[in-house]
Amino acid sequence: MKDSNFLKEHNGRLMWHPMTSPRDSIDNPPKIVTGASGVTITDIDGHTVVDGVGGLWNVNLGFSCQPVKDAIAAQLDTLPYYSTFRGSTNDAAIELSYELRDFFAPDGMERAFFTSGGSDSVETALRLARQYHKLRGEPGRIKFLSLKKGYHGTHFGGASVNGNANFRTAYEPLLPGCHHIPAPYTYRNPFNETDPAKLARLCVAALEDEIAFQGAGTIAAMIMEPILGAGGVIPPHRSFAPMVAEICDRNGILLITDEVITAYGRTGAWSGARLWGIQPDMMATAKAITNGYFPFGALMLGQKMVEVFEDNPAAKIGHGYTYSGHPVGAAAALACLAETRRLNVVENAATRGSQLFEGCQKLMDRYDIIGDVRGGHGLMTAIEMVSDRATKTPIDPDTAARVQEGAYQAGAMVRVSGPNLILSPPLVLTERDADTILSALDAGFAAA
């Protein structure tokens, strides 16, 4: 192992980091995390903090989940890899598909297609949506609808349905036929509407207008996060998702919920679809499926998909990944599902989520730098920072960075994305851990 000085010196010079510029990693060296335990992480200088980011929305069970580690080790000893391409499979993947069907049965899911992560799951959903309509004799249904501010990964398909220019502009032109409607974002929206229920109706009206303009017969699917995550934790009014589901069904449009963040208890419900009482046609999942311990994902498929693909001998899926159904990932996922259920993490996510949300609202009373606090559904909270609360002018990056660094020095890793400070800690967070995060935020805002 190289010493700390070597690692600090060579990080930005040898490795390019996601979601930032290569130059930034040199000018503003990232925290080098060398250890973790429970819900805390330790950096190369020995500074230990509560991880308010949960790895990257994915370490729901914390960093010391021994059953998952044991499952990975045992699987490595018996079968470290085998393909699930035509003609072969493995026992762990079969068992996992059974357990996932049971877990997502209330959401109407019947089958699993395994991937290497969230972007892969989204890409698979988009491809299968187009193939579904071709198999049904409607090859003209090729377009996709999504929400502005939505995030759907980094593949060309996912980037095309992404609703944030930061993930699109540098790589355009992207996939044609992708159209975006306004998100139910009460703090900033083109209607200047602050009432969540009214805004939901306005966004749904925009969806119907876009369908009429494009022609329902040209649209393959609508993809949306049940709660927008990376876009700044934007929860819609409870009426929004059911209205979207009804419109899609009425127009023959498949509904895909991007549950890469929201599945497995993050929202205080077992899935985002279940939170809003809908049954989509497909659900893209990943992240917490293996607690971040192994790259893995699953696209879950509902009855519509099953009937069309399994009743048609010509329905060959010309898509897949080398690591689809990887036995080590499947073993990790099986252990994660068992622990997630045993600990009933949805209850703690709801309780601790309310604690963080209410604590952030109290901070808003003290600091004018806080323009909006969003959350209230499990352990998903965002603080939108502004330089002027009256005009909602976004905070400048340097001040946002001071808030983040101040919080880190005071005991919590938090994530700043644009003007948003996002909290997505492990679902095994304790009351004391949540208090530590809030105290660190207080120090961060004071420092800025």
What is the distance between the alpha carbons of residues 179 and 303, in angstroms, rounded to a whole number? 26
**Beta-carbon contacts of residue 424 (< 8 Å; ≥ 6 apart):** 52, 53, 54, 57, 229, 261, 266, 379, 380, 381, 415
The predicted-structure confidence for 430-445, as pLDDT tens digits, reads as follows 999 999 999 999 999 9
pLDDT the model gives residue 314: 87
What is the pLDDT confidence band of residue 12, given thresholds at 50, 70 and 90?
Answer: confident
> For the chain, what is the mean pLDDT?
97
The predicted-structure confidence for 75-88, as pLDDT tens digits, reads as follows 999 999 999 999 99
Helix then strand then coil, in percent of the chain rounded to 5, is 45, 15, 40
Residue keyed to tokens 């049940």: 226
The predicted-structure confidence for 114-168, as pLDDT tens digits, reads as follows 999 999 999 999 999 999 999 999 999 999 999 999 999 999 999 999 999 989 9
Phi, psi of 271 (to 5 degrees): -150, 160
The predicted-structure confidence for 297-329, as pLDDT tens digits, reads as follows 999 999 999 999 998 988 999 999 999 999 999
Residue 180 tokens, joined: 């975006």
**Beta-carbon contacts of residue 43 (< 8 Å; ≥ 6 apart):** 31, 32, 33, 34
Average pLDDT (339-368) is 98
pLDDT of residue 330 exceeding 70, the answer is: yes
pLDDT the model gives residue 1: 66
The predicted-structure confidence for 16-51, as pLDDT tens digits, reads as follows 999 999 999 899 999 999 999 999 999 999 999 999
pLDDT over 70 percentage in the chain:
100
pLDDT the model gives residue 2: 79
Average pLDDT (256-280) is 98
Average pLDDT (161-178) is 95
The predicted-structure confidence for 85-101, as pLDDT tens digits, reads as follows 999 999 999 999 999 99
C-alpha angle 434-440-445 in degrees, rounded to nearest 5? 130
